[in-house]
């Protein structure tokens, strides 16, 4: 009798926290979609950026995916996920708020956009890595597939809605002011994650014995070897990498050729 009621109680406790996690992910993704539209528009319309500068902006925005993703995943396994997510959200909000501040002061330059793109990309990778690892803390193993599906569906809707809202905001209030929506979205995400109350198991200390947890580089190597040995995962990663490469090319060209007057 006791064992049958404990899972039900655990699920009831996890359900509000799962909603908070999904809500935070939707808030940050919808806001990020606004910035995806606003930053190139700001570079083209307000800073008269050249094709090379737009290409460099798109490249720097994608660079953290190639460099930071693996270390961020291993790092999130070694540390508490919830503080990492909150810190990443605050870092993203802080760096983004410098854009409208500099624009209103008349000192915004393309170099600042480059720096924002890099820091924002790192913050998003850290948040995403911690969020993926955090989901199993909130739901039981038999509900994990359903929770992943729910999170993925909500994230897709939020991303699409954010792009449409971003385009409307850029046209209505200007690119610099529309970035404030993304700032607010990250603050909402941090607040919702902060409100999660499900206890998180303490991570294993980095100073564990050699037969236990190894160095960060060893964790990354083990992850790569695991992926290399799984045909399904290799195929998914190859497909996603190809898609990301194509989207990066598209993001380079659409801003310049759609926004620059003929």
Nearest to 61 by CA among 223, 251, 236: 251
The pLDDT of residue 212: 45
Where along the chain do its domains lie?
Answer: 2-198+215-259
DSSP state letter for 201: P
CA distance 49 to 257: 12
The pLDDT of residue 171: 81
Give the predicted TM-score (pTM) of the model: 0.79
Nearest to 130 by CA among 98, 170, 87: 87
Nearest to 186 by CA among 131, 137, 123: 123
Q: Tens digits of per-residue pLDDT, 2-51?
A: 444 444 444 444 478 888 888 888 888 888 888 888 888 888 888 888 88
The mean pLDDT value for 179-194 works out to 93
Binned at pLDDT 50, 70 and 90, residue 111 comes out as very high
The mean pLDDT value for 174-197 works out to 91
CA distance 256 to 49: 8
CATH fold, domain 2-198+215-259, is Growth Hormone; Chain: A; (1.20.1250)
Tell me the CA distances in angstroms from 105 to 52, 98, 101, 109, one per residue in order.
Answer: 26, 10, 6, 11
Q: Which residue has the higher pLDDT, 181 or 142?
A: 181
The mean pLDDT value for 71-91 works out to 86
207 has pLDDT over 50: no
**Which range has highest mean pLDDT (56-65, 107-116, 231-240)?**
107-116
Rg of the chain over Cα atoms, rounded to whole angstroms, equals 20
Instruction: Supply 200's token pair.
Output: 């998180």
208 has pLDDT over 50: no
Tell me the CA distances in angstroms from 210 to 94, 202, 213, 256, one per residue in order.
Answer: 39, 19, 6, 52
The mean pLDDT value for 59-79 works out to 81
121 has pLDDT over 60: yes
What percentage of the chain reaches a pLDDT higher than 90? 21
The mean pLDDT value for 117-145 works out to 84
CA distance 70 to 77: 11
Question: Tokens 């790092």 belong to which residue?
Answer: 75
């Amino acid at each position: 009798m006791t064992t049958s009621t404990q899972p039900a109680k655990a699920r009831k406790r996890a359900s509000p926290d799962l909603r908070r996690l999904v809500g935070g992910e939707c808030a940050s993704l919808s806001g990020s979609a606004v910035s995806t539209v606003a930053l190139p528009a700001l570079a083209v319309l307000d800073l008269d950026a050249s094709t090379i500068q737009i290409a460099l902006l798109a490249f720097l925005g994608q660079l953290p995916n190639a460099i930071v993703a693996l270390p961020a995943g291993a790092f999130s396994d070694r540390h508490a996920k919830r503080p990492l997510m909150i810190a990443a959200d605050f870092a993203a909000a802080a760096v983004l708020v410098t854009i409208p501040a500099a624009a209103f002061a008349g000192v915004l330059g393309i170099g600042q956009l480059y720096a924002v793109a890099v820091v924002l990309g790192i913050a998003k990778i850290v948040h995403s890595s911690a969020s993926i690892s955090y989901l199993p803390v909130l739901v039981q193993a038999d509900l994990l597939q359903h929770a992943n599906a729910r999170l993925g569906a909500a994230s897709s809707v939020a991303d699409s809605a954010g792009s449409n809202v971003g385009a409307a905001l850029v046209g209505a209030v200007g690119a610099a002011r529309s970035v404030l929506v993304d700032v607010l979205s990250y603050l909402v995400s941090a607040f919702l994650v902060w409100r999660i109350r499900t206890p998180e198991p303490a991570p294993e200390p980095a100073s564990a014995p050699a037969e236990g947890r190894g160095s960060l580089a060893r964790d990354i190597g083990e992850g790569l070897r695991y992926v290399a040995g799984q045909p399904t995962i290799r195929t998914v990663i190859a497909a996603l990498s190809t898609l990301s490469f194509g989207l990066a090319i598209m993001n380079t060209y659409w801003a310049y050729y759609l926004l620059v007057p003929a």
